[in-house]
């Protein structure tokens, strides 16, 4: 641990940016799902800034207050590199939600979801969480009888996409917005026709979020096995991306996004294995593995795409991708 | 490991496809070229690349197919595989202990009955010259790795030259070598020929002794991923991890035009046989077709489900009409249009009505695209501000069109000529920072324009102006005419020859498609 941080200091010592801290987080028994997401969020600049500015006006410590304490603790360290135990935050998390109140491995995406929604609840009304993560999807349904199109807006904090073997995240997003036909018992009630009709449905992005969080649905329930299994498929993701699945009235269809964090799952299933995160900070990439932090080269990203071959079930694979809209 | 039951997306591998000129079928000989898995050797995740020589001389004496797999380099006798019986046996296998062969190229100029030179680039940055006829290793270059120790991404003989070749590196450098010269052993002292943020040229030439490398180029940011020479041997197109395609005149050491991917790095590049178009493939899952003469993106080909590893124009399937064929009216196509079977130079005096492009990718697919008349003659795209090259006295053809389009453009940074420079600036925001390394740090006068006058060569004064990448809504989006899953693994290489289309995939599988109307003695 100690030798690890001095190793990192050696590697980036001279180019260590002022006011930046790289602190590993101690694992309190399978809490890497939490550590990996916290690191990704810490290096989401607008999120960090808001959390650091948060002042609890309530005496009672909320989960957000605990998070703010943790972030303040990291950012006020005298040393630039080290390890911190997020004890209070984990204790609060376990107290607040039964799901996380055990020593089992949890789903990092569920935790991210829970955390963002909890923060939004604590803040109430329109919040900076929405400001940072919220986008709007438009659900377009076209009646195959009268051709009328109805549109319904839906907001999202992240997008969950299906994964397929040997694809890219771009292709997964196209799949997310592909057209689905509603027929037989799924028929759609058309207001124009005043009756149930066959229809085509698709979801496209209408308003882009500032931070785009993409969740790859790598855990799939297999009926025969009565459990979730991991899809270790190779899904490549570039360092910069634009979306192809924008609605026609979207404001900036050519918005560029830059990858800044990846939560990676290693191992064979949602309740086993390990989470780590890769984070971009000041032009270089760091790998946070609980209390260990190391510098990696951008081309090492290849190791986290997943493996094409079925024989490598326990591979490391990108699970949540965080992209930041380029100014 | 337990085998999985969820094979619902395991599409079947296809063995034939139908296009307008007929039916392509997989040659039954494909398997005999493929890597035979006898050991547990892994491929280290490196792409399998093909180099092929075919000749029409009787007996096909010099036909060779070479590919790398893992630490090995295989040489096969190769005649257009349909016209022969069983002469496709392996001729040579070289296994390397300390280095992995990654790319290779045949020298077509020095080829003779006892010489067929193959230059090979390795992951260690070293290079080796092999005479494939005698299976002899002739020479090594950069043996002590002092010139560059990153991996070699692409290696090519310079067309028309006996013994010059260039190698591009992961480091972002390109080096030119002369296979007659020895390599420097110690530290190399380069003198600057020219230097800019985006493109610098150095030479190690000294009066005392000529040594390799002759030239060193530093291009853009990040790795150079692929290179291709234009058919007229005057230009080199390079693609880089920074998302740029650059066309370099390698005689004058000048970047004459650039193009930016829609997003992400560019991985492969190819020229059309008439030298008028360049196609790239990359991390945006697109094949982007760019008009060299007009300096604009003319089409984006959308159909891959992952990154595009290799792209090539089919020089044998190109639909042309002769320029002096006045009867061409645009309606009766069959009468005037002939499917060109000879490729090469004959095309130059004709109007191309349609290009055929092939591409393969990480999605294990093989795709074919037709870039038709509607795209090639469209007026619309000329208004797209993209990349414009003004050549004062080079190619009259490109000159006129460039001039025409320049009126529609905001020329940012041309203030060196007229100080008012730009006006309308809707194009001037967002993507700029990534657009060009020139952009960010320099003072604004030099921003988007690099004006380069070659000193000892009177060829041209080039003004290279860069624009942000055109919007997705501005460029026609094309669908493939054929899309087939052809392998279990990423497809990494693609070659069009007269009778066949040959692909290689990461697991060492070679797939040979026989063109329509080729009688196979095997079938």
With 60 as the cut, is the pLDDT of residue B216 above it? yes
What are the CA-CA distances from residue A316 to residues A106, A231, A312, B235, B492 (Å)?
Answer: 16, 11, 9, 42, 23
Does the beta carbon of B331 lie under 8 angstroms from any beta carbon of chain A? no
Residue A246 and residue A254 in contact, taking contact as beta carbons nearer than 8 Å:
no
What is the C-alpha separation between B239 and B219, in angstroms, rounded?
Answer: 10
Cross-chain CB nearest to B489 (options A220, A252, A308): A308
| Predicted pLDDT of residue B184 | 79
Residue in the structure block whose two tokens are 């019986």: B85
Does the beta carbon of B186 lie under 8 angstroms from any beta carbon of chain A? no
Give me the count of residues in chain B.
Answer: 523
Instruction: Locate B319 and state its tokens.
Output: 């639909």
The more confident residue out of B4 and A22 is: A22
Instruction: Give how far A233 is from chain B: nearest CA, Å.
Output: 11
Lowest mean pLDDT among A220-234, B72-86, B101-115: B72-86
Binned at pLDDT 50, 70 and 90, residue B409 comes out as very low
Domain-by-domain residue ranges, chain B? 16-36+44-319+350-378+476-514
Interface of A with B in 273-312 (CB under 8 A): 299, 302, 308, 310-312
Cross-chain CB nearest to B473 (options A222, A253, A302): A253
Average pLDDT over residues B411-431: 35
Q: How high is the ipTM of this complex? A: 0.92
Average pLDDT over residues A4-29: 81
| Predicted pLDDT of residue B160 | 87
Instruction: Give how far A41 is from chain B: nearest CA, Å.
Output: 24
With 90 as the cut, is the pLDDT of residue A32 above it? yes
Instruction: Give how far B305 is from chain A: nearest CA, Å.
Output: 5
The more confident residue out of B70 and B468 is: B70
Average pLDDT over residues B238-267: 94
B469, closest residue in chain A (CA to CA): A254
| Predicted pLDDT of residue B57 | 56
| Predicted pLDDT of residue B522 | 40
Tell me: the pLDDT tens digits for B321-363? 765 543 333 333 333 334 444 444 455 556 778 999 999 999 9
Tell me: the pLDDT tens digits for B362-402? 999 999 999 988 888 876 545 544 444 444 333 333 333 33
Binned at pLDDT 50, 70 and 90, residue B114 comes out as confident
Binned at pLDDT 50, 70 and 90, residue B486 comes out as very high
Name the most confidently modeled range: A182-196, A303-317, B48-62, B212-226: B212-226
Detail the DSSP E strand segments found in B272-419. 277-282, 286-291, 296-302, 308-313, 319-322, 338-339, 350-361, 365-371, 387-391
Domain-by-domain residue ranges, chain A? 3-325
| Predicted pLDDT of residue A269 | 75
> What are the chain B neighbours of A254 within 8 Å (beta carbons)?
430-431, 469, 471-472
Lowest mean pLDDT among B149-158, B203-212, B464-473: B464-473
The chain-wide mean pLDDT, for chain B, equals 76
A230, closest residue in chain B (CA to CA): B4
Q: What is the DSSP string of B15-60?
A: -EEEETTEEEEE-TTHHHHS----S----TTPPP-EEEE---SGGG
Give me the total of CB pairs closer than 8 Å, taking one residue from chain A and one from chain B. Answer: 92
With 90 as the cut, is the pLDDT of residue A236 above it? yes
| Predicted pLDDT of residue A183 | 85
> What are the chain B neighbours of A225 within 8 Å (beta carbons)?
5
Tell me: the pLDDT tens digits for B59-95? 444 588 999 999 999 998 876 545 555 555 788 899 9
| Predicted pLDDT of residue B382 | 52
> What are the chain B neighbours of A170 within 8 Å (beta carbons)?
284-285
Cα B247 → chain centroid: 11
Residue B471 and residue B487 in contact, taking contact as beta carbons nearer than 8 Å:
no
Residues in a beta bridge with A288: A277, A293
| C-alpha distance across the termini of chain A, in Å | 37
> What are the chain B neighbours of A164 within 8 Å (beta carbons)?
9, 305
Tell me: the pLDDT tens digits for B20-36? 889 999 988 888 888 87
With 50 as the cut, is the pLDDT of residue B145 above it? yes
Interface test with A, best of B263, B364, B432, B433 (most A CBs within 10 A): B263
Maximal C-alpha separation, chain A: 71
% of chain A beyond a pLDDT of 90: 61
Cross-chain CB nearest to B306 (options A171, A225, A302): A171
Detail the DSSP E strand segments found in B158-261. 164-169, 173-178, 191-194, 199-203, 215-219, 224-229, 235-240, 244-249, 254-260
Give me the count of residues in chain A.
Answer: 327
| Predicted pLDDT of residue B2 | 34
Binned at pLDDT 50, 70 and 90, residue B200 comes out as very high
> What are the chain A neighbours of B11 within 8 Å (beta carbons)?
none
Cβ within 8 Å, pair A170-B285: yes
Cβ within 8 Å, pair B362-A313: no
Instruction: Give how far B8 is from chain A: nearest CA, Å.
Output: 10
Instruction: Give how far A88 is from chain B: nearest CA, Å.
Output: 40
Interface of A with B in 151-170 (CB under 8 A): 164-168, 170
With 50 as the cut, is the pLDDT of residue B460 above it? no
Binned at pLDDT 50, 70 and 90, residue A126 comes out as low
| Predicted pLDDT of residue B129 | 96
What is the C-alpha separation between A66 and A72, in angstroms, rounded?
Answer: 10
User: Which residue numbers of A are catalytic?
Assistant: 32, 274
**Phi, psi of A257, rounded to the nearest 5 degrees:** -120, 145
Residue A161 and residue A173 in contact, taking contact as beta carbons nearer than 8 Å:
yes
Binned at pLDDT 50, 70 and 90, residue A127 comes out as confident
With 50 as the cut, is the pLDDT of residue B142 above it? yes
Lowest mean pLDDT among A21-25, A97-101, B136-140, B388-392: B388-392
Cβ within 8 Å, pair B4-A234: no
The chain-wide mean pLDDT, for chain A, equals 89
Cross-chain CB nearest to B306 (options A166, A256, A313): A166
% of chain B beyond a pLDDT of 90: 46
Tell me: the pLDDT tens digits for A64-115? 999 999 999 999 998 888 999 999 999 999 999 988 888 888 899 999 999 9
Average pLDDT over residues B275-299: 95
Tell me: the pLDDT tens digits for B159-190? 988 899 999 999 999 999 999 998 877 788 88
Lowest mean pLDDT among B192-196, B213-217, B453-457: B453-457
A312, closest residue in chain B (CA to CA): B1
Does the beta carbon of A171 lie under 8 angstroms from any beta carbon of chain B? yes
The CATH topology of domain A3-325 is Cathepsin B; Chain A (3.90.70)
| Predicted pLDDT of residue A55 | 79
**Phi, psi of B169, rounded to the nearest 5 degrees:** -120, 160
Lowest mean pLDDT among B81-95, B416-430, B460-474: B416-430
% of chain B beyond a pLDDT of 70: 68
| Predicted pLDDT of residue B224 | 97
Q: Using alpha carbons, select from A224, A253, A227, A237 the residue that is nearest to residue A321.
A: A237
Instruction: Locate B118 and state its tokens.
Output: 């193959």
Does the beta carbon of B432 lie under 8 angstroms from any beta carbon of chain A? no
With 60 as the cut, is the pLDDT of residue B425 above it? no
Cross-chain CB nearest to B472 (options A168, A238, A253): A253
Cross-chain CB nearest to B364 (options A166, A222, A252): A166
Q: Supply the CATH classification number for the domain B16-36+44-319+350-378+476-514.
A: 2.130.10.10
With 70 as the cut, is the pLDDT of residue B447 above it? no
Instruction: Give how far B19 is from chain A: nearest CA, Å.
Output: 25
| Predicted pLDDT of residue A320 | 97
């Amino acid at each position: 641990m100690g030798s690890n941080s001095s190793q990192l200091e050696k590697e980036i010592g001279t180019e260590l940016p002022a006011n930046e801290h790289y602190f590993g987080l101690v694992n309190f028994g399978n809490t890497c799902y939490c550590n990996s997401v916290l690191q990704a969020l810490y290096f989401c600049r607008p999120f960090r800034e808001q959390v650091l500015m948060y002042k609890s006006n309530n005496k009672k410590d909320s989960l957000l207050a605990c998070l703010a304490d943790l972030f303040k603790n990291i950012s006020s360290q005298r040393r630039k590199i080290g390890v911190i135990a997020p004890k209070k935050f984990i204790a609060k998390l376990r107290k607040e939600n039964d799901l996380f109140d055990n020593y089992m491995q949890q789903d990092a995406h569920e935790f991210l979801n829970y955390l963002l929604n909890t923060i939004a609840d604590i803040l109430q009304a329109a919040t900076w969480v929405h400001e940072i993560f919220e986008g709007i999807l438009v659900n377009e349904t076209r009646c195959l009888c009268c051709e009328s199109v109805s549109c319904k807006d839906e907001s999202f904090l992240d997008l969950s996409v299906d994964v397929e073997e040997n694809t890219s995240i771009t292709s997964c997003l196209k799949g997310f917005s592909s057209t689905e036909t509603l027929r037989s018992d799924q028929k759609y009630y058309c207001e124009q026709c005043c009756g149930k009709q066959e229809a085509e449905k698709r979801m496209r992005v209408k308003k882009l979020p500032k931070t785009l969080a993409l969740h790859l649905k790598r855990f799939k329930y297999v009926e025969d096995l009565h459990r979730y299994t991991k899809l270790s498929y190779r899904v490549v993701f570039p360092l910069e991306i634009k979306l192809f699945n924008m609605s026609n009235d979207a404001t900036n269809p050519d918005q560029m996004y830059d990858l800044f964090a990846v939560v990676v799952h290693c191992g064979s299933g949602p309740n086993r294995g390990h989470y780590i995160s890769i984070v971009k900070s000041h032009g270089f990439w760091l790998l946070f593995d609980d209390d260990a932090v190391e510098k990696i080269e951008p081309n090492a990203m290849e190791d986290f795409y997943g493996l094409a071959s079925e024989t490598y079930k326990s591979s490391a694979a990108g699970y949540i991708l965080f992209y930041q809209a380029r100014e | 490991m337990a085998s999985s039951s969820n094979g619902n997306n395991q599409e079947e591998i296809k063995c034939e496809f139908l296009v307008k000129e007929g039916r392509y079928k997989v040659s039954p000989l494909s398997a005999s070229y493929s890597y035979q898995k006898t050991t547990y050797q892994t491929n280290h995740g490196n792409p399998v690349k093909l180099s092929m020589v075919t000749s029409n001389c009787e007996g096909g004496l010099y036909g060779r197919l070479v590919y790398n797999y893992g630490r090995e380099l295989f040489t096969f006798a190769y005649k257009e595989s349909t016209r022969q019986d069983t002469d496709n046996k392996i001729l040579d296998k070289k296994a390397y202990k300390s280095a992995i062969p990654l790319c290779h190229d045949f020298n077509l100029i020095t080829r003779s009955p006892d010489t067929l030179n193959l230059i090979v680039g390795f992951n260690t940055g070293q290079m080796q010259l092999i005479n494939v006829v005698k299976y002899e290793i002739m020479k090594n270059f950069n043996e002590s790795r002092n010139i560059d120790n990153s991996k070699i991404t692409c290696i090519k003989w310079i067309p028309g030259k006996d013994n010059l070749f260039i190698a591009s590196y992961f480091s972002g450098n390109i080096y030119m070598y002369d296979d007659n010269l020895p390599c420097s052993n110690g530290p190399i002292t380069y003198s600057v020929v020219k230097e800019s943020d985006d493109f610098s040229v150095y030479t190690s030439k000294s009066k005392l002794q000529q040594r390799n490398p002759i030239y060193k180029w530093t291009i853009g940011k990040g790795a150079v991923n692929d290179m291709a020479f234009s058919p007229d041997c005057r230009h080199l197109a390079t693609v880089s991890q920074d998302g740029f395609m650059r066309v370099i005149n390698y005689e004058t050491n000048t970047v004459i035009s650039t193009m930016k991917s829609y997003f992400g790095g560019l991985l492969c590049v190819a020229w059309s046989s008439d030298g008028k178009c360049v196609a790239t493939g990359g991390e945006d899952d697109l094949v982007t077709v760019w008009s060299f003469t007009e300096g604009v993106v003319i089409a984006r080909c959308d159909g891959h489900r992952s990154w595009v590893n290799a792209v090539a124009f089919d020089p044998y399937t190109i639909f042309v009409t002769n320029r002096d064929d006045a009867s061409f009216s645009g309606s009766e196509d069959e009468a005037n249009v002939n499917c060109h079977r000879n490729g090469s130079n004959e095309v130059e005096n004709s109007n191309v009505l349609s290009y055929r492009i092939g591409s393969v990718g990480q999605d294990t697919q093989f795709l074919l695209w037709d870039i038709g008349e509607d795209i090639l003659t469209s007026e619309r795209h000329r208004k797209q501000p993209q990349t414009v090259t003004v050549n004062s006295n080079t190619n009259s053809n490109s000159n006129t069109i460039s001039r025409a389009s320049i009126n529609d453009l905001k020329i940012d940074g041309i203030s060196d000529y007229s100080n008012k420079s730009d006006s309308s600036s809707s194009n001037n925001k967002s993507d700029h920072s990534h657009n060009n390394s020139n952009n960010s740090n320099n003072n604004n006068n030099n921003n988007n324009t690099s004006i380069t006058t070659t000193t000892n060569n009177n060829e041209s004064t080039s003004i290279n102006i860069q624009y942000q990448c055109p919007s997705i809504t501005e460029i026609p989006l094309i669908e493939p005419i054929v899309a087939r899953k052809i392998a279990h693994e990423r497809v990494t290489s693609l070659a069009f020859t007269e009778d066949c289309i040959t692909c290689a995939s990461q697991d060492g599988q070679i797939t040979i498609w026989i063109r329509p109307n080729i009688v196979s003695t095997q079938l």
